[in-house]
Amino acid sequence: MSPRRLISFRPPLGRLRRGWGALIMLGRHLRTLPATERRHEPGDGTDLPAPWPVALLDGRTKTVADGFGPLFHRRFSVRAVGAAGLARDVVAVLARDLDRAAPPYVVTFARQRGEPGRMLVGDEYRVSMPAPWDGPVRALARTDTSFRFGTLDGHLEAGVIEFRAADAGPGTVDFTIEVWSRAGDRAAEIVYRRLGVGREIQAGLWIQCCLGVVRLLGARREGAVREITRRVPACELDGRSA
């Protein structure tokens, strides 16, 4: 296994721009909270993600079983009405350029493996964030209306994230980001679970991405952006996570 690298080698200017972008996103996140439904529930064994495809496991993979502390299963969703496209259209746009729905200057998805302009299983990306670390991920699944990533060595978290869309009627698209994550190491476990900073940054990012998809569709949001967080204690994982 290659040495674990948490520190990003991005130029300082890039980190400063993302830090400024994160402040802007925080302001947007605070303004959005009144229009957000947030629910927290106890989790159980049913909250585990699907196992990684065996062919995609190697010395660089970082599954939920490699994480520390409790598992957080989170779902962020929004309904877009008056959409100019279908579910498959917005997923195709995101698969070509993941930055299209991301908050500007906050997060960037840089392709590390795979052909530009499309996403295939096995493609890899490095997610650049305001923090002094990057988040490498690998595409685990891809359909016309969804794609799923798993974390790789060096990521702050250990887990899986899925982006998906579904047609819910003429001009109506439901978009969902579903996350299964544990802290990637013991230091991150303090920031992520005990202080809650990492979880709130994650919530702000994916809520803003949901709103970005609504804009991509040329639509308007119906109802609130919904967040459901289920927490599974580490003692209940019992080595079943993968």
- Residue ranges in 39-171 assigned as alpha helix (H): 87-96
Residue 9 pLDDT exceeds 70 = no
* 174-227 tens-digit pLDDT: 999 999 999 888 777 776 666 666 677 778 889 989 999 999 999 999 999 999
Q: Interhelix angle for 87-96 vs 197-216, to 10°?
A: 120
Q: Please name the residues in contact with 215: beta carbons below 8 A apart, sequence gap of 6 or more.
A: 101
The predicted pLDDT at position 186 comes to 79
Average pLDDT, the chain: 84
CB 182 within 8 A of CB 70: yes
Instruction: Give residue 21's pLDDT band: very low, low, confident or very high (50, 70, 90).
Output: low
Question: Lowest-pLDDT range, 4-8, 25-29, 152-156, 169-173?
Answer: 4-8
Residue 72 pLDDT exceeds 90 = yes
Instruction: Give residue 17's pLDDT band: very low, low, confident or very high (50, 70, 90).
Output: low
Q: From the DSSP assignment, how many helices (H) and strands (E) are in the chain?
A: 4, 9
The predicted pLDDT at position 199 comes to 74
At 205, list the tokens: 């990012």
At 228, list the tokens: 């459901």
Q: Please name the residues in contact with 86: beta carbons below 8 A apart, sequence gap of 6 or more.
A: 167, 173
Instruction: Give residue 53's pLDDT band: very low, low, confident or very high (50, 70, 90).
Output: very high
CB 136 within 8 A of CB 126: yes
The predicted pLDDT at position 20 comes to 57
Please provide the CATH number assigned to the domain covering 12-236: 3.30.530.20
CA separation for the pair 98, 166 (Å, rounded): 18
pTM for the whole structure: 0.85
Closest CA to 163 of 194, 119, 110: 119
Q: Please name the residues in contact with 27: beta carbons below 8 A apart, sequence gap of 6 or more.
A: none
Per domain, the residue ranges of the chain are 12-236
At 30, list the tokens: 């605070």
Residue 5 pLDDT exceeds 50 = no
Which of residues 136 and 15 earns the better pLDDT score? 136
Span 70-78, average pLDDT? 96
Residue 12 pLDDT exceeds 60 = no
Beta-bridged to residue 150, according to DSSP, are 138, 160
Which of residues 109 and 142 earns the better pLDDT score? 142
Which of residues 132 and 170 earns the better pLDDT score? 170
CB 192 within 8 A of CB 69: yes
% of the chain exceeding 90 in pLDDT: 59
The predicted pLDDT at position 242 comes to 54
